[in-house]
Amino acid sequence: MKSFIVKTPARRVFEVFNYVFLVCFALVCLMPVLHVIFASFSDPTLMAQHSGLIWKPLFDETHPLTLYGYKMVFGNDSLLMGYANTIFYCALGGAFSTILCTMGGFVLSRKGLVLKKYIMIFLTITMFFNGGMIPTYMVIKKIGLLNNRLVMIIPNAVNVMSLVIIRTAIQGMPTSLEESARLDGAGNFTILFKIVIPLVKATVAVLALQYVLMKWNAYFEAMIYLNDRKMYPLQVILREILVESDSSSLTYDAELAQYADLIEYCTIVVAILPVFCFYPFILKYFTKGMMIGSLKG
């Protein structure tokens, strides 16, 4: 028997208001992104004459659409090198952090873990207190990670909040599954990789997304710990272009200075494009994974 919701006038008003509000909110969030995308194809002269957000690419008969900014961006060795470094940090760092976090959550979910309570207290303290920038820099230097690509991967590899989420998700699994596997002779690694991870793959996917985005947006650690420009991630190069107005590194002569703003817009589009392509494939796991990891404390 189907159940129907009676739509009273008050409910209809609420639904209309809800849809209008969500559409307006979506436009507010989307419009700056569209502005950057449209501006990257617009004519620089028309862009200089325009003020405020644009709703479509700016062009006319004498000022056609242009791909010149993208040609300059992809022709810049420094930017492409930063792009490759960021992809390396995201791939290796995201996989390393996700595996560590999943294994740590599995260990913390064990009922017979010795000193489990005190370990959780210690981990919780690290969420609110840390050694500070200078002591952390000294530790990084002493262990030989200064000006090393691994400094973007090993430090801060595990986030305590993510550890708690995956632990909670694993604790919500039926204990009978693990007991049956142990009766068949399965060890901890077999249970983790063949039983636990497939059942909590939504939560693992959420953690992977969080770590990849964290590595993709990381720039402060690179500014402090990396001295070799060949190791800089994309965000550091992007910061030089946008914040320090280092657009001269992308232009070949003074006559091309008028394209500085266009190149900045194209650089932003190139920087956010992989995230736009990656996010839709992981979105279906996001809500489900967060719910699984937060229902049981």
Q: What is the pTM of this model?
A: 0.77
pLDDT at 29 over 70: yes
* pLDDT tens digits, 202-230: 888 888 888 888 888 888 888 899 988 88
Residue 296: phi and psi, rounded to 5, are -120, 125
For the residues 77-99, what does the mean pLDDT come to?
Answer: 89
How many other C-beta atoms are found inside a 10 Å radius of the C-beta of residue 54? 18
pLDDT at 4 over 60: no
Burial group, residue 265, by CB count within 10 angstroms (0-12, 13-18, 19+): buried
- For residue 258, the model assigns a pLDDT of 64
Q: Which residue type occupies 1?
A: M
* pLDDT tens digits, 231-288: 999 888 887 776 655 445 554 444 455 677 787 788 888 888 877 777 777 666 665 5
Rounded to an integer, what distance in angstroms lies between the CA atom of residue 164 and that of residue 105?
7
Rounded to an integer, what distance in angstroms lies between the CA atom of residue 194 and that of residue 181?
10
- What DSSP designation does 191 have? H
**70-74, 137-141, 247-251, range with the lowest pLDDT:** 247-251
Q: Are the C-beta atoms of 166 and 100 separated by less than 8 Å?
A: no
Rounded to an integer, what distance in angstroms lies between the CA atom of residue 226 and that of residue 238?
16
Q: Are the C-beta atoms of 267 and 74 separated by less than 8 Å?
A: no
